[in-house]
Amino acid sequence: MPSKTFVPAFKAHVGEWEYYLCLMSYAQVAREINFAYELGGNKDLGTMIQRGVGTRTAEITEYLLTNPSRFLGSLIVAAWGGHPEYIGLRMDDSVEEQGMLVGVDREFGVLTFDGTHQFFALDGQHRLRAIKDAVKKDPSLGSEDIGVVVVPHFDDDAGRRKTRRLFTNINRNAVKTNVQENIALDEDDGFAILTRRFLDDHSFLSKDGVVQVFSKQGNDGELKLAQRQVSPGQSVWTTISVLYDILRELGFDLDGSMHKVSQRATDEILDESYEILSLRIDDVLDSCGELRNQYSSSPLPKELRAPKGRESDGHPLMRPAVQVAVVKAIRQVVEQQLLTWEEALQRLSKLDWQMSAAPFSAVWQETPEAKARGRMATGKDYTDLLLELLLVHIAPKTKVQIERALKSYKIVKNARYPVSPETLATGLVTQQ
């Protein structure tokens, strides 16, 4: 006869649902809760529930095994065959006379897991898979707890329709944190942590208005984090999203723990990484058209980006698309050991840092009637072209690479590249 497991639970009601709020250990969850496809029955339901269970669970498992700050949200579980066995209880304590427990035991009781019902994950199947895998690898995790919401599932047409509707409502109405919110809040992703530190501590990036963090701040507490674009009327250098990408590119060779978004690096590694990245971002700002000095000395930095009536003379490194392309190019050149960091920055410093000049003309569209005017062309074809051209300006490996880049310019821009292949070939490098 199967053993019984008793789980504390509150019975609750919402809409047409009666459900149960439970507290279960990881060991109980691993033992008692299954996946729909394991239970047989309706194939359509099984397919619906199990979709997406796959490689994503490995990251959650690693998170449970290695992160001391681990925390998982509640699972939503369906009881196959209808209402689970629930026994209501009444709390009795000496303090009841003082009124502390009056009403607290409303609909309080226990659920019985004894094998007569089967339970499957309706929402949280990736977390369930990770819990099962993590407990197998480290049984001590079995004593940890997670909230579980249990709903009844009836295996008939009406029951399946009701369960499917609940599943779609949960997933349709769930709002996940976006990229910008993760950067602002994540305490495990090392580059998110350092992005915030740069906004607080860096001598240039911490200055008011240099990096845009919010694009909207309402009177009632409404906040909207800045994404990637900088509007023409703004004086900011970049946005929080782009700064995060810049730091990731510049931190390509940092300790491996910095690249694990679900496992926080040690404070020592974070400090060391900050110092390295701080030096590197200073090098980029100073080598690329002396951006930091020009920005700090400009009474109106938006004029540095796009001087009124002479937008083509604007500084390319004031444009997020150029910022990302530049650091990607540096990363590739240094990672491939074509040049040292210092050599790559030296070559960058020799470029003509005007928006209409090569190679930045790849992402600039001049206005036909006024060539001093223009606008950014930020489609993927243009940004890919800019990266390709930056590479042949900084460290071309072969003449074929140069010819390919100039051909790409002709195709994308329908114009001849203003720098000759012979000139670019003077910078040819050989891999170390």
pLDDT per residue as tens digits for the range 229-265 = 887 778 899 999 999 999 999 999 999 999 988 788 9
User: What is the pLDDT at residue 139?
Assistant: 93
Q: Look at residue 149 and give its three-state secondary structure.
A: strand
**Highest mean pLDDT: which of 151-155, 169-173, 177-181, 318-322?**
318-322
For residue 91, is it within any domain? yes
Do the domain assignments include residue 81?
yes
pTM over 0.85: no
Would 332 be classed as within a structural domain?
A: yes
Strand 214-217 and strand 75-80: the pairing is unpaired
Last residue of a domain, one of 141, 174, 207: 174
Q: Which residues constitute the domain of residue 111?
A: 5-174
Residue 318 has pLDDT above 90, yes or no: yes
pLDDT at 70: 87
Asked whether the CA dihedral 405, 337, 265, 277 is positive or negative, the reply is negative
End-to-end Cα spacing for the chain: 71
- What mean pLDDT do residues 33-45 have? 56
Total domain count, the chain: 3
- Rounded CA-CA distance 69/228 in Å is 30
CB of 284 closer than 8 Å to CB of 250? yes
Instruction: Report if residue 234 sits inside a domain.
Output: yes
Domain assignment of residue 293, yes or no: no
Q: Which residue has the higher pLDDT, 311 or 294?
A: 294
Statement to judge: residues 143 and 246 lie in one domain: no
Half-sphere exposure of 317 (CA within 13 A, CB side): 23
Q: What pLDDT, on the 0 to 100 scale, is given for residue 47?
A: 39
Residue among 7, 5, 13 nearest 107 (CA) = 13
Regarding whether 202 and 233 lie in a shared domain, the answer is yes
Cβ burial of 128 (10 Å; 0-12, 13-18, 19+) is: buried
pLDDT level of residue 51 (50, 70, 90 thresholds): very low
Helices (H), 288-360: 291-297, 301-305, 320-335, 341-349
CA-based nearest residue to 25, from 44, 6, 43: 6
Residue 15 domain flag: yes
Whether residue 157 is contained in a domain is answered as yes
CA atoms within 13 A of residue 218's CA, in its CB half-sphere = 5
| Residue 181 backbone dihedrals phi, psi, to 5 degrees | -65, -35
In this prediction, residue 220 carries a pLDDT of 52
pLDDT at 50: 38
Do the domain assignments include residue 327? yes
For position 372, what pLDDT does the model report?
A: 64
**What was the pLDDT predicted at 214?**
83
- The answer, yes or no, to whether residue 380 has pLDDT greater than 80, is yes
Question: Domain check: are 191 and 168 in the same one?
Answer: no
Together in a domain, 187 and 255: yes
Mean pLDDT of 177-201: 87
Kindly report, residue by residue over 194-212, the tens digit of the pLDDT. Answer: 999 999 999 999 999 999 9
Q: What span, in angstroms and rounded, lies between the C-alpha atoms of 298 and 55?
A: 50
Q: What is the mean pLDDT of residues 29-48?
A: 60
What's the pLDDT score for residue 104?
A: 62
Out of 254, 287, 320, a domain closes at 287
Cβ atoms of residues 245 and 326 within 8 Å: no
Q: What's the pLDDT band for 375 if we cut at 50, 70, 90?
A: confident
d(CA 347, CA 339): 10
Average model confidence (pLDDT) across the chain: 84
154 plus 51 within the same structural domain: yes
Between 162 and 264, residue with greater pLDDT: 264
Q: Which of 287, 320, 350 is the last residue in one of the domains?
A: 287
Sheet holding 75-80, edge to edge: 33-34, 118-123, 75-80, 145-153, 17-25, 5-14, 108-113, 85-88
Instruction: Give Cβ neighbours of residue 256 (< 8 Å, ≥ 6 apart).
Output: none
Residues 194 and 275: their CA atoms lie apart, in Å, by: 10
The DSSP element (H or E) to which 196 belongs, if any, is helix 190-201
332-347 average pLDDT score: 96
Alpha-carbon radius of gyration of the chain: 29
Q: How confident is the model at residue 101 (pLDDT cuts 50, 70, 90)?
A: low
The answer to whether 262 and 63 are in contact (CB under 8 A) is yes
* pLDDT at residue 327, as a whole number: 98
Residue 432 pLDDT > 50: no
Phi and psi torsions of 44, nearest 5°: -60, -45
